[in-house]
Amino acid sequence: MMSVVGAQPFIKPMQTSPSVSPGIQRRHTLPASEVRPLNTQDAISVFEIEREAFISVSGECPLHLDEVRHFLTLCPEFSMGWFEEGRLVAFIIGSLWDQDRLTSDALTLHKPCGSTVHIHVLAVHRTFRQQGKGPILMWRYLQYLRCLPNVRRAVLMCEDFLIPFYRKSGFKVLGRCAITVANLTFTEMWYPISGHAYMRRNSEAIRFPQIPLTLPLTNTDEQVDI
């Protein structure tokens, strides 16, 4: 059983800064680092990061701009964005799915009664890569999914060169994916979410609130190597 300590990144509030003289007060109040669900106002920033990350490598984006808006409207609670001083630097977008394996319908549909989270895309802004942000954000996302009582597993599809990256996050190969995009083929991978009863019983305390909490980074976060 997972220790509830693992949920602390989602509930620990940003410590209040000591009071300072108005003459030396900072001109802005944006948090240095914040993790929160995405919304439709973030869609353009999401798509710009995604397009740069994927077009140069595979020539295809997992989600087009209208699809980004589609999922951020239907199920924003299955998205997660990492912001540095208000700037989006990394994100994940997911939706619910209700079958054992992914089909082409999973690319555009959200199944509210499903127990599988389909992770459509994880991307990091080019100037923030090679800093461990991708693995850290995936870890936080999986911790969050463990708090949702109806979620039993997470699945994704990726090109073969990304399999080692997702294996490091705990994903296992499920087999060849039935979905193809243009001339690209994919491997389907999965991650078990079930078996965390203690955290599920306490999920209301660590679920994303209506007003997202500011989440400070820990020293451990910065030590992760990508």
Note if 122 is an active site residue.
yes
Report the candidate in 80, 71, 73, 86 with the shortest Cα–Cα distance to residue 37.
80
Catalytic residue (choose from 109, 162, 174, 217): 109
Note if 95 is an active site residue.
yes
Which two three-digit tokens encode residue 144?
A: 């969050």
Measured in whole angstroms, the distance separating CA 213 from the mean position of its chain's CA atoms is 16
Catalytic residue (choose from 166, 169, 191, 196): 166
Which two three-digit tokens encode residue 71?
A: 């999922």
Report the candidate in 67, 35, 40 with the shortest Cα–Cα distance to residue 51.
67
Question: Measured between alpha carbons, how far is 90 from 135 in angstroms, rounded to an integer?
Answer: 11
Which two three-digit tokens encode residue 117?
A: 């989270």
Note if 198 is an active site residue.
no
Catalytic residue (choose from 38, 72, 79, 95): 95
Note if 203 is an active site residue.
no
| 8 A C-beta contact, residue 37 and residue 79 | yes
Count the residues in the chain: 226
Catalytic residue (choose from 120, 144, 148, 156): 120
| 8 A C-beta contact, residue 204 and residue 216 | no
Question: Measured between alpha carbons, how far is 146 from 196 in angstroms, rounded to an integer?
Answer: 7
Note if 191 is an active site residue.
no
Give the active site residues. 95, 109, 120, 122, 166
